[in-house]
Amino acid sequence: MVIPSEEARLVAAAKAGDAAAFTALVEATQADVYTLAYRLTGNEDDARDVAQEAYLRAFRSLKRFRGDARFSTWMYRITANCASTHLTKRTKGRHDELSDDDTVLDERPESDPESMAEAGALRDKVTAALADLPPILRAVVVLRDVYDLPHDAIATELGITESAAKVRLHRARRKLRERLFPMPGEEKARAV
C-alpha cells in the first residue's frame, strides 16, 4: 500500500502525462483492485478482466479525478462499475453456480496457528456464503460492508437507486445471517 502523500504525488505526475507514475499507481493498487474484482465476480478470470478494464477506464478518465478521495477509493468505484457491466453482459447463471471451491488465500502473517486456523475457517465460511449470494446482492454487501462505500456511491456505480441499494443490502445481510448463523427453526426450513 502506498502512503497518501506519495499517492497524491504519483496521481499529479500521472495526470501530467508521466506513464511511469501511472505504472507505479497500478503496481501499488493492483492487489486491492483484483481482490475487490474477485469478490464481486467470484472467479479469477473475470476478476482479471474486470481489473484490466478498471485500469483502462481510470487511465482514460484520470484528468477528471479531483483527488477528493483516495486514488484507491476511486479505483474501487471504477472496479465496482466495471464488474457490474461485466456481470450484466455475462450469461446469467454462471455466478449462481459458484461452488465451495472458491477459497481465498490468507496472506496475513499470524503467529498463533490455532487462532489462524480458526480465523481462516471463519473467513472461508463467509467467503463461501458471499459467493453463494446472487451477484446483485453480493455486489452491494461487498461494497458497503467490506469496503465501506457510501450508499450513494454504490447506487451510482451499480446504476440503481439508493433505496434499491439499501433494499438489496438488507436482503443480502439477512441471507448471510441465515446461512452463517441460522436461528432455531431456520435450518430445517432451509433444508425443506
Partner 1 sequence: MRSSKFFGSGGVSCDDVADALPAIVDGLEVADIEVQRHVAACLRCQAELVQYRKVLRMLHELRTEVLEPTPGLVPDILAALEAAGERRAIHHLLNGRRVAYVGVIAAATAAGAAGAILASRARRRVRLAS
Binding site for partner 1 (CB under 8 A): 22-23, 26-27, 30-32, 34-35, 38-39, 44, 47-48, 51-52, 55-56, 59-60, 104-108, 119, 122-123, 125-127, 141, 145-148, 166, 169-171, 173-174, 176-177, 180-181, 183-186, 189
Please report, to the nearest 10 degrees, the dihedral formed by the alpha carbons of residues 166, 172, 178, 183 taken in order: -10
Kindly write down the DSSP assignment for every residue of the chain, as one continuous string. ---HHHHHHHHHHHHTT-HHHHHHHHHHHHHHHHHHHHHHH-SHHHHHHHHHHHHHHHHHTGGG--SSS-HHHHHHHHHHHHHHHHHHHSPTTTGGG--TT------S--S-HHHHHHHHHHHHHHHHHHHHS-HHHHHHHIIIIIT---HHHHHHHHTS-HHHHHHHHHHHHHHHHHHHSPPTTHHHHHH-
Between 93 and 181, CB nearer to partner 1: 181
Between 97 and 107, CB nearer to partner 1: 107
Between 3 and 93, CB nearer to partner 1: 3
The CB-of-84 to partner 1 minimum distance in angstroms stands at 19
Between 99 and 183, CB nearer to partner 1: 183
Between 31 and 117, CB nearer to partner 1: 31
The CB-of-80 to partner 1 minimum distance in angstroms stands at 15
The CB-of-166 to partner 1 minimum distance in angstroms stands at 7
